[in-house]
């Protein structure tokens, strides 16, 4: 049976719980990109992001009753699950050695930088984005989460607070401190090449 | 607005919906008067541009198709297993219900037969056990009733039917198998304790139980052998 694209998430989830594979697939396609982007931006690792997305939807598949439609949208619930997985991943991270294969463009992150300018500009942009990415990934997890949700996912403070499960004031203060750290890091990254080139 | 307040809420005042208009205006005014905070805001806006560029690079990122394939495979496996398990549970319940039903029907039939047997021996039901002590010979103890039926007119009596097979009898002292040619079988009800009079072992605890016994009675009217029908 064909399922209407606009079918509500909770309806689809009920059908999926009864064994409707098409409903489950539709749910997955609706939400996977947002989950993957969030995980990728938080971990900076494509393998980890893939694993996290898989875990999130496995949880939904195995225990669909965990989601309570009266408490909010399915997207928010999935974000919550993804966030827990990301935090667990980040806690484990120092003990793990990354075996990640470098991408063709050398970013090694699973994040493919796309641009179509002259080779020199392309190189410069790539360098700058690598620096931004490194600066974001070096932030402590809570500050990084606030920056990812508010700056990269472009959520409002209220939405971000809801996702992170904390008051709006906490998000604002985390974002403030995250920004301060990020600016300091970016300034430092900018200065290092300058000093290096001045030293020559 | 102070510099500290500006750093906390003013940097992103235009975007923060939770701020009031007054706070927004104050932030704008502070940035226009404080060169340090204005520089900070510039710096943040530059960082914001770089962040947005970084966000754009990952804006179209999606989980690889293999994730969907793995999830769908898992979904199928899980739901097939679930269906099989449900079918097994239903089958188990159906079997259990059938067993209970069969048990109930056979118990009902057994009870019916029991009742019919009781009704078929009205004398035994009418007489109290104390008065039923005197049917048989000097060998027997208290025998419950004279409802014993001769094999030949068993059909007429329509009561208790003794098995006409001669097997399974225990001969009483002084009786011999050779003397049983004309003997007949009588089925009587008696207290288990009375079996002691035939030289059979009796448990004291069960001596008061009423049981059915087949007696092989000779021409002289004396019992020659005894057996407990099944």
Q: List the CATH number of the domain containing A90.
A: 1.10.1740.10
- The residue from B71, B94, B120 where one domain ends is B120
Q: Which pLDDT band, with edges at 50, 70 and 90, does B16 fall under?
A: confident
Same domain, A62 and A11: yes
Phi, psi of B224 (to 5 degrees): -110, -25
Same domain, B141 and B202: yes
What value does the mean pLDDT of chain A take?
79
How distant is the Cα of B58 from the closest Cα of chain A, in angstroms? Answer: 6
Same domain, B152 and B216: yes
pLDDT (0 to 100) of residue A1? 52
Taking the C-alpha atoms of residue B191 and residue B193, their distance in angstroms, rounded to an integer, is: 5
Same domain, A7 and A98: yes
Interior angle at CA B151, CA B230 and CA B157, nearest 5: 95
- The residue from B120, B145, B162 where one domain ends is B120
Lowest-confidence region among A125-129, B58-62, B202-206: A125-129
Taking the C-alpha atoms of residue A167 and residue A158, their distance in angstroms, rounded to an integer, is: 8
pLDDT (0 to 100) of residue A98? 47
CB–CB contact B61 A40 (8 Å): yes
Nearest partner of A183 among A155, A147, A158, A141, judged by Cα: A147
Q: Answer for the pair A161, A190: CB distance below 8 angstroms, yes or no.
A: no
User: Residue A196, SS3?
Assistant: helix
Taking the C-alpha atoms of residue B142 and residue B194, their distance in angstroms, rounded to an integer, is: 6
Same domain, A82 and A143: no
Lowest-confidence region among A72-81, A97-106, B68-77: A97-106
- The residue from A76, A104, A132 where one domain ends is A104
Residue B165 has pLDDT above 90, yes or no: no
Task: State how many domains chain B has.
Answer: 3
Same domain, B138 and B107: no
What interface predicted TM-score (ipTM) does this complex get? 0.73
Same domain, A98 and A175: no
Residue A193 has pLDDT above 70, yes or no: no
Expressed as residue numbers, the domain containing A84 is 1-104
Task: State how many domains chain A has.
Answer: 2
Write the DSSP assignment of B48-63 as a string of letters: HHHHHHHHHHHTT---
Same domain, B71 and B114: yes
Same domain, A134 and A77: no
Token code pair at residue A82:
């993804």
- The residue from A79, A104, A129 where one domain ends is A104
Q: What residues of A are in contact with residue B57 (Cβ under 8 Å)? A: 111-114, 129
Same domain, B54 and B102: no
Expressed as residue numbers, the domain containing B182 is 129-227
Taking the C-alpha atoms of residue B230 and residue A96, their distance in angstroms, rounded to an integer, is: 79
Interior angle at CA B184, CA B182 and CA B189, nearest 5: 160
Q: Which pLDDT band, with edges at 50, 70 and 90, does A104 fall under?
A: very low
Same domain, A83 and A131: no
Pairing of strands B170-171, B210-217: unpaired
Residue B96 has pLDDT above 90, yes or no: yes
- Closest partner residue to B51 among A35, A40, A132, by Cβ? A132
Q: Which pLDDT band, with edges at 50, 70 and 90, does B150 fall under?
A: very low
Taking the C-alpha atoms of residue B177 and residue A186, their distance in angstroms, rounded to an integer, is: 120
What value does the mean pLDDT of chain B take?
76
Same domain, B192 and B137: yes
Q: Which residue has the tokens 């939400």?
A: A31
Taking the C-alpha atoms of residue B180 and residue B173, their distance in angstroms, rounded to an integer, is: 14
List the single best residue of B61, B68, B72 to mutate versus A (max A Cβ within 10 A).
B61
pLDDT (0 to 100) of residue B89? 92
Binding-face residues of B in 39-98 toward A, CB within 8 A:
43-44, 47-48, 50-55, 57-59, 61-64, 67-68, 70-72, 74-76, 78-79, 82-83
Comparing B228 with B82, the larger pLDDT belongs to B228
CB–CB contact A54 B71 (8 Å): yes
Angle between helices A157-164 and A168-199 (to 10 degrees): 100
Same domain, B212 and B141: yes
Same domain, A189 and A158: yes
Q: What residues of A are in contact with residue B64 (Cβ under 8 Å)? A: 50
Give the mean model confidence (pLDDT) for residues B215-220: 84
Q: Which residue has the tokens 């719980």?
A: A17
Taking the C-alpha atoms of residue B126 and residue A161, their distance in angstroms, rounded to an integer, is: 89
A151-188 per-position pLDDT tens digit: 888 888 888 888 888 888 888 888 888 888 888 887 77
Lowest-confidence region among B13-22, B76-85, B111-120: B13-22
pLDDT (0 to 100) of residue B94? 94
CB–CB contact A125 B53 (8 Å): yes
- Closest partner residue to A41 among B18, B52, B58, by Cβ? B58
Residue A103 has pLDDT above 50, yes or no: no
Q: List the CATH number of the domain containing A138.
A: 1.10.10.10
Phi, psi of B131 (to 5 degrees): -90, 0
CB–CB contact B17 A32 (8 Å): no
pTM, entire model: 0.56
As a whole-number percent, the residues of chain B with pLDDT over 70 amount to 78
Token code pair at residue A45:
């690792």
Comparing A64 with A122, the larger pLDDT belongs to A64
Q: What residues of B are in contact with residue A58 (Cβ under 8 Å)? A: 71, 74
Same domain, A99 and A173: no
List the strands of the sheet with B223-227, edge to edge.
B170-171, B223-227, B210-217, B184-191
Same domain, B49 and B75: no
- The residue from A86, A104, A122 where one domain ends is A104
Residue B105 has pLDDT above 90, yes or no: yes
Same domain, A89 and A131: no
- Closest partner residue to B44 among A132, A153, A179, by Cβ? A179
Same domain, B188 and B216: yes
Same domain, A95 and A15: yes
- Closest partner residue to A36 among B53, B61, B83, by Cβ? B61
Same domain, B18 and B83: no
Helix and strand counts by DSSP (H, E) for chain A: 8, 0
Angle between helices A74-92 and A9-17 (to 10 degrees): 70
Lowest-confidence region among A143-147, A155-159, B124-128, B187-191: B124-128
CB–CB contact A25 B72 (8 Å): yes
Task: State the sign of the Cα–Cα–Cα–Cα dihedral B174, B176, B182, B185.
Answer: positive
Q: Which pLDDT band, with edges at 50, 70 and 90, does A111 fall under?
A: low
Give the mean model confidence (pLDDT) for residues B193-212: 83
Q: Which residue has the tokens 């099944």?
A: B230
A112-146 per-position pLDDT tens digit: 555 555 777 777 777 777 888 888 888 888 899 99
């Amino acid at each position: 049976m064909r399922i209407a694209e606009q079918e509500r998430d909770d309806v689809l989830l009920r059908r999926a719980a009864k064994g409707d594979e098409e409903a489950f697939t539709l749910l997955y396609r609706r939400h996977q990109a947002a989950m993957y982007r969030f995980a990728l931006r938080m971990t900076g690792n494509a393998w980890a992001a893939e694993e996290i997305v898989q875990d999130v939807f496995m949880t939904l598949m195995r225990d669909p009753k965990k989601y309570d439609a009266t408490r909010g949208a399915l997207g928010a619930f999935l974000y919550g699950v993804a966030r827990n997985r990301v935090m667990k991943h980040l806690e484990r991270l120092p003990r793990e050695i990354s075996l990640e294969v470098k991408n063709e463009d050398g970013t090694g992150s699973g994040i493919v930088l796309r641009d179509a300018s002259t080779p020199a500009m392309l190189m410069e942009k790539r360098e700058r984005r690598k620096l931004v990415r490194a600066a974001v990934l070096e932030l402590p997890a809570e500050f990084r989460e606030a920056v990812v949700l508010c700056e990269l996912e472009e959520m409002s403070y209220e939405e971000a607070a809801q996702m992170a499960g904390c008051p709006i004031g906490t998000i604002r203060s985390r974002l403030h401190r995250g920004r301060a750290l990020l600016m300091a890091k970016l300034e430092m990254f900018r200065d290092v090449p300058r000093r290096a080139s001045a030293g020559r | 607005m102070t510099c500290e307040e500006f750093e906390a809420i003013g940097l992103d005042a235009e975007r923060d919906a939770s701020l009031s208009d007054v706070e927004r205006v104050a932030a704008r005014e502070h940035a226009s008067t404080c060169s340090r905070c204005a520089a900070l805001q510039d710096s943040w806006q530059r960082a914001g541009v770089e962040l947005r560029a970084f966000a754009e690079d990952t804006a179209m990122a999606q989980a690889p198709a293999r994730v969907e394939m793995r999830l769908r495979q898992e979904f199928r496996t899980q739901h097939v297993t679930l269906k099989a398990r449900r079918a097994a549970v239903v089958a188990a319940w159906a079997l259990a219900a059938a067993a209970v039903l069969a048990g109930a029907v056979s118990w009902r039939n057994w009870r019916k037969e029991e009742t019919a047997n009781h009704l078929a021996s009205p004398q035994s039901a009418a007489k109290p056990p104390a008065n039923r002590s005197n049917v048989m010979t000097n060998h027997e103890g208290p025998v419950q009733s004279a409802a014993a039926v001769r094999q030949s007119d068993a059909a007429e009596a329509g009561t208790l039917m003794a098995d006409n097979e001669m097997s399974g009898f225990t001969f009483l002292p002084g009786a011999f198998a050779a003397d049983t040619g004309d003997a007949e079988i009588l089925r009587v009800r008696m207290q288990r304790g009375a079996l002691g009079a035939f030289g059979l072992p009796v448990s004291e605890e069960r001596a008061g139980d009423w049981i059915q016994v087949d007696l092989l009675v000779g021409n002289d009217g004396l019992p020659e052998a005894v057996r407990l029908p099944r």
